A and B are shown apart, each in its own frame.
Chain A
């Protein structure tokens, strides 16, 4: 009798695990927050063992098109992203697919013609697309889709790329949300003075982020005491700016920029060389992808990653599984959940509309609410395609990238 009871408990436990958690705050995802949600169990997908798969699904495939940039511009996120998404599709198919439908992923490199790559994917029959960040790539893709096929601009924070009316969606917060949260965090720490580095007012990413930070910081009662310019992704000698700052700093300011990690390191080194060792450095999302934590003197640097990964959580486990199965570690770990969520959201759209017409899938995606993705909770309903996500604030502490706050 006891054996039967234990066996029953074991079966129930397995069934519970297989069906996923209902806890909407789960960090391991779960999807199915809108519509009937049947068929997409993120927990089960992530737990799939490729060495022990269910029978291969034989229904009509759900086709995921990835138009990716492999150049030095965004290859640092698109290359690992385009490796991880097909891997997760393998896991989905390993669990029997989505209601018996296999998921197929095709990757097309945008090269010098993003429109051509997008057309290739549409001709193949993609139900939705995952595209690269930056308008240079995303806009030609949107012109090709003509608003009729959902596009997830996976790693982008550019607000102008989101427009639900033409089925274009960000998967993470935008520049304004990200930098406003950074300003709020600085104010919460009692910092009232800021030095802002920009490439110029209104310039996408490198100017919009500092603009948003300055606006929120000032609105919250802080003062931007100096605005400096620099060349993004290039400058590593900030001598002229440092000399100017040395003449006015009270050694207690926040130094905000959308600079890449190695630039923040160089700037900090030069400012500390001038005796300014009391400044707080705040950067934007890219820092976790550009190895900011590598160097000792980055201790204390703050940034706003898309996902704050901790040892053993769902993303960490997925990336470890990938490494074990494929024999190589993926770079730009902080961005990877966005690519996987892009696919999950598209699949959720397919499930919600119960259709194969990309335009209708897009309409269903636009109504998604409370989707529990790998990168956090995602809602498109009532937005223009920018999910109102909470912004993690990470700080380099003892050489580790540690979550210290979440804003929003």
Chain B
């Protein structure tokens, strides 16, 4: 029972990071109908920024905002240099462009930085725990869950209560009509990439704190988790993305715990099999979205 409770908390902690990643993917999909396979590059580039800054003696207190800024700037640069050039192109072109950005960023880091894993010191509290009865809960998981909840509330407020949010939601519902109604497409799309970059940055802070390292392809894993969670939740749905993130995190931890040792290495495979099953019965994901299709 204790182990189950422990696993549930761990699953929620892991799922929180996935939820933040999925939210960033969903924001871009909602506006551009783009499944952004370059979403992980914000974390890759931020990871190198963290490596250099920590190596130069900066503290995590300074590195956290640095990661957020680098992530947002990277996202905006990717939009400016790549996606703005193919705006209006077929979805498949956008998809290929996002793959291209991913490979280009990895190759540039490989060629001009290093192929080696770059390690840096994690914050001292990452491995600390606090007790709740017989449970030993990681401070890290607690912080991740709390920050994720705050981020989700803030994102909801941004989308519901600001002009930018209104424009973003209008663009997600019907991009062309939104433009006819006076919504400036450039501003909305850049705003969406900035928001997506910020969400990736927040997820990246936790991802990088836990990993304690980065490398040219460090963004692949978080990108896959984010895309997967967004798919599980229902592409284009922000609530679905969050739900998908938590579902994926819990599934990974609980399955790893429940599967017998001889099958434990199949955890990832079983997770994918479950996702496939989900799509058989609910091809639209956990939450149906009717307005995400770009017109």
List A residues at the B interface (Cβ < 8 Å).
70-72, 75-76, 78-79, 198-200, 227-229, 231, 234, 236-237, 239-241, 243-244, 246-247, 260-262, 265-266, 269-270, 272-275, 289-292, 294-297, 331-332
Tell me whether B114 and A331 are in contact (CB under 8 A): yes
Binding-face segment, B35-43, B182-190, B193-201, B256-264: B256-264
Tell me whether A274 and B253 are in contact (CB under 8 A): no
Q: Contact partner of B136 among A79, A244, A269, A273, CB < 8 A?
A: A273
A331–B127 Cα gap in the complex (Å)? 29
Mask, B235-269, CB within 8 Å of A = 1, is: 00000000000000000111011000100110110
The contact size tier of chain B is 35 or more
- Could you say which of B7, B115, B138 has the most chain A C-beta atoms within 10 Å of its C-beta? B115
Tell me whether B119 and A262 are in contact (CB under 8 A): yes
A172–B253 Cα gap in the complex (Å)? 38
Tell me whether A295 and B122 are in contact (CB under 8 A): yes
Q: Which residues of B contact A294 (CB under 8 A)?
A: 119-121
Tell me whether B212 and A72 are in contact (CB under 8 A): no
Tell me whether B117 and A261 are in contact (CB under 8 A): yes
Whether B211 is near chain A, meaning CB under 8 Å from some CB there, is yes
Q: Which residues of B contact A269 (CB under 8 A)?
A: 122, 126-127
A234–B213 Cα gap in the complex (Å)? 11
**Minimum CB–CB distance for A70 against chain B, Å:** 7
Tell me whether B127 and A273 are in contact (CB under 8 A): yes
Tell me whether B221 and A262 are in contact (CB under 8 A): no
Q: Contact partner of A290 among B116, B211, B254, CB < 8 A?
A: B116
User: Looking at chain B's contact residues, is the secondary structure mostly helix, strand, loop, or mixed?
Assistant: helix
A137–B11 Cα gap in the complex (Å)? 37
Tell me whether A72 and B217 are in contact (CB under 8 A): yes
Q: Which residues of A contact B106 (CB under 8 A)?
A: 72
**Minimum CB–CB distance for B238 against chain A, Å:** 25
Whether B210 is near chain A, meaning CB under 8 Å from some CB there, is yes
Q: Contact partner of A240 among B10, B110, B138, CB < 8 A?
A: B10
- Could you say which of A227, A269, A290 has the most chain B C-beta atoms within 10 Å of its C-beta? A269
Q: Do A229 and B10 form a contact, CB below 8 Å, given A75-B110, A331-B116? A: no
Q: Contact partner of B129 among A200, A229, A273, CB < 8 A?
A: A273
Q: Which residues of B contact A292 (CB under 8 A)?
A: 119
Tell me whether A240 and B128 are in contact (CB under 8 A): no
A397–B261 Cα gap in the complex (Å)? 34
Q: Contact partner of B128 among A273, A295, A332, CB < 8 A?
A: A273
- Could you say which of A266, A273, A291, A294 has the most chain B C-beta atoms within 10 Å of its C-beta? A273
Q: Which residues of A contact B221 (CB under 8 A)?
A: 234
